Amino acid sequence: MTRRSWWCSSLAAAGILAAGLLVWQTGFRQPLPEIPQFSGQGASRTVVSLLTDLRDRLLRQTHSATAWGDYGMALMQHERPAEALQCFAAAARLAPQDARWPHLTGVILEQTALQQAAAKYAAAAALQPGAAQSELRLVSVLLTLGQFQSAEPRLQQLARRFPRESDVWLQRIRLARLMNAPDQALQWLQAAREQQAVSDLLLREAAGVQLQQGRSDCARQLLEESRHAQPHVAVRDPWLEQLRAFDASGAVASAQADLQRQQGRLDQALRTLSTLASRFPERSRPALNRALALRDQGNTAEALAELSRLAAGFPADPLIHFHLAVTAAQAGQQAQALQSLERCLQLKPDYGLARAVRADLLNAAGQAAAAIAEYRQAVLETPGDPWIRFGLVQLLLRQKQLPDAAAALQPVAALLSPGQQAEQSELQRLQAELKQAAATDSAAGQTTAQ
């Protein structure tokens, strides 16, 4: 072969190689999946709007892992998991080092295919060893599958890397229970104590292990300790938390508004609820919660107006009628209150609390006998509520029906657990009042006799 022909051959080979690589790059590499459509039938327009926007963005950026991932997260947040899986698969191909995508895929697959979910969690954990959430989910799945030998070394590593996470020790104790190793469970409990990672759930789990072995004294001690231990806090999952940012259904905002109301941040709650009510007029709850926030704020008139409007718009909702009644009573509109309670109880006859409120209104109107009857019915409907019984007892005490009051109060002790401090205090207060009233009665009786 001459040098010239050798060079020609080499150049030709190089050219063919380059062409082959180009073809492979564009044609023979596995194509990205088709961008999933979602069925918007019956869906909220805000959800459809969000998903449409994200899909349109993805159409413009088909090679963006972020675009695929955002669309997938929005689909997942709105319970379109089949479509979300396709998006996460594409995002994972475009950004193979991002552990989010296999992790979220695993969360979805955990509903239907544990082995596949385990593989995804393992992949996520390998990509991001600092993320405990994937490892813990993997361990949880392995325990469910009965693969204890696989779970054990992972838990060892987790305990080394995250010694202060209660969840890790909880899973270790669980594994000890499954492997019938109660001493090991105590060992892990001790280790958790040293790391200040003990929680109520962990102690109860440890107690259960001991009970299973017949070590009831040890178990009872652990149970007693669990009553005073800190509530269990699960390992944070920031990737799942990210889904909330994509919520267009109002669920996240509703939860936020509830929290704001509980924390007394009523102005903020009102703003959130007003937005929700206008976005979702077909739902009663945002507007109802808004009315309750107005009431909490002292704006009774506006609350009353809102509730009246709601009662007309949702006439078959007993909760609306109940709150309309309570608000009307607060506003001094007794007749409206009774009328609304009547409607409420027609819709929900077993509403013990509504009966108790009606009893109070009847009593205020001087109808004590009717009030007592209503309270008795309320107690029947809600036997587990000590406060309704307390209401009945107070009414009976005021009516000087002492034996009936005693009979009504007597079962409450059996209802209460030691942790119910407020209820225990009220019980003691009423018992003292009953005792005082009985003594006064007795003294008055003796004086009369004399």
Supply the DSSP string of 183-217, one letter for each residue.
Answer: HHHHHHHHHHHHTT---HHHHHHHHHHHHHTT-HH
- Tokens (6 digits) for 133: 């959430």
Q: State the DSSP code for 131.
A: -
- Tokens (6 digits) for 420: 């119910």
- For other proteins, which is the closer residue by CB, 251 or 432? 251
Residue 152 CB contacts under 8 Å (≥ 6 apart), including other chains: 175
- For other proteins, which is the closer residue by CB, 85 or 266? 85
How far is the C-alpha of 62 from the C-alpha of 56, rounded, in Å?
10
- The nearest distance, CB 32 to other proteins, in angstroms, is 11
Place of tokens 């936020």: 256
- The nearest distance, CB 364 to other proteins, in angstroms, is 26
The number of angstroms, rounded, from the C-alpha of 131 to the middle of its chain's C-alpha atoms is: 23
- For other proteins, which is the closer residue by CB, 269 or 409? 409
How far is the C-alpha of 142 from the C-alpha of 135, rounded, in Å?
10
- The nearest distance, CB 254 to other proteins, in angstroms, is 12
- The nearest distance, CB 13 to other proteins, in angstroms, is 6
- The nearest distance, CB 301 to other proteins, in angstroms, is 26
- The nearest distance, CB 127 to other proteins, in angstroms, is 8
Within 13 Å, how many C-alpha atoms sit on residue 272's CB side? 20
Instruction: Tell me the CA distances in angstroms from 217 to 129, 179, 210, 223, one per residue in order.
Output: 40, 22, 9, 10
